Structure 1
């Protein structure tokens, strides 16, 4: 799916980028990809911490019961 993004930059910056032959759309695309990757990492770290905390608070027998039930459901 293609998304259209509107970005406003200063005219002098735009002229300088043109002079340096910088592909502005490529720069924006890479920046967005890095931002998305960063957000995805933050979400994963939060999920891992939440799971770790949950398992820390449960007794080992609770964890084993969950695993036994999961195998039976398959």
Structure 2
């Protein structure tokens, strides 16, 4: 999916980037990818913590029932 993003940059900074032959769109794209990856990691960590807490609060027999049901679903 492609989306258009508008970014404001100071003229002097833009001129300096042009002088250094920096591909501004590539820099912005990489920065956004890193931000998305960071957010995805945070979400995964929260999910793992929630699952860990849930399993910690359940009895071992509950966990075994979940595993048996998962094998049947496959």
What is the TM-score of this pair, normalised by structure 2? 0.91
Moved over 4 A (4+): none
Output the CA distance in 1 between the equivalents of 2:29 and 2:53.
Answer: 36
Question: What are the Cα deviations for residues 23-56 of structure 1, in whole angstroms up to 9, with x where unaligned?
Answer: 0000000000100111111111111110000000
Question: What are the Cα deviations for residues 1-25 of structure 1, in whole angstroms up to 9, with x where unaligned?
Answer: 2111000111111011111111000
Q: Over aligned residues, Cα RMSD in angstroms?
A: 1.1
Deviating more after overlay: 63-72 vs 20-29: 63-72
Output the CA distance in 1 between the equivalents of 2:73 and 2:54.
Answer: 22
Q: How far is 1:71 from its partner?
A: 2.8
Q: Give the number of equivalent residue pairs.
A: 74
Q: How far is 1:66 from its partner?
A: 1.7
Structure 1: gaps spanning 5 or more residues: none
